Amino acid sequence: EGQLVESGGGLVQPGGSLRLSCAASGISFSDYWMSWLRQAPGKGLEWVANIKQDGSESYYVDSVKGRFTISRDNAKNSLYLQMISLRAEDTAMYYCATDWHHATSRRFDYWGQGTLVTVSS
Amino acid sequence: DVVMTQSPLSLPVTLGQPASISCRSSQSLVFSDGNTYLNWFQQRPGQSPRRLIYKVSNRDSGVPDRFSGSGSGTDFTLKISRVEAEDVGVYYCMQATHWPPFTFGGGTKVEIK
């Protein structure tokens, strides 16, 4: 069974930076697009960014463009989210999830448990 | 961006009774390949989201058959035929036809009366 484990969250000041990681196991990581999603405290779900299997394409929600960068290392079965110029409104639980798989034509089969990012002075 | 509108916001249900959640999209979710990429997710208290339904009406492995999805175009419904205690949580619809971005409904909180 697939498992995703996020890490790297924490308390950061406005304008600061943080790098999130997501370690995958039990899945063929390189066969999946991968996504980051987030959920502000007491709020709904928001998709943040995704990246193609080979890292050649990535897409972002408008609110994070130019500030967040998604990347992956297939050799390490790992996904990353580099966040700079953080704002209070970026405070959220951040989840990584498997995205598109060509064989199943499905997205978001597996989710991690999340890592909490708090942007506050 | 496609706007997903769910109703109701809150749904108190008696155990064993049915429940229905509506989800409407601001434009048709039929993709050029003929598929409609509308998913339903369940988020139990304190847990990560879990997908229940994909492509409108396909139940995921391990999802009880009391859950069913239906709809077409812009109008979709998630039904629980007989609510059980373990069904308490927030349910989200999500469209994956017109992206980026993928967009979610605001969520419907199912609780026991």
CB contact under 8 A, B100 and A47: yes
Distance separating alpha carbons of residues B32 and B41, to the nearest angstrom:
24
What's the pLDDT tens digit per position in B66-94?
999 999 999 999 999 999 999 999 999 99
What's the pLDDT tens digit per position in B45-60?
999 999 999 999 999 9
Q: Is B81 near chain A, with CB under 8 Å? A: no
B106 pLDDT more than 90: yes
Across the 121 residues of chain A, what is the mean pLDDT of every consecutive 10-residue run?
96 98 97 97 98 97 98 98 98 97 88 98 95
Q: Is B68 near chain A, with CB under 8 Å? A: no
Peptide bond into B49 cis (omega under 30): no
Through-space distance between the first and last CA atoms of chain A, rounded to whole angstroms: 40
pLDDT of residue A106: 87
**Burial annotation A10-36 (CB, 10 A radius, 16+ → b, else e):** eebeeeeebebbbbbeebebeebbbbb
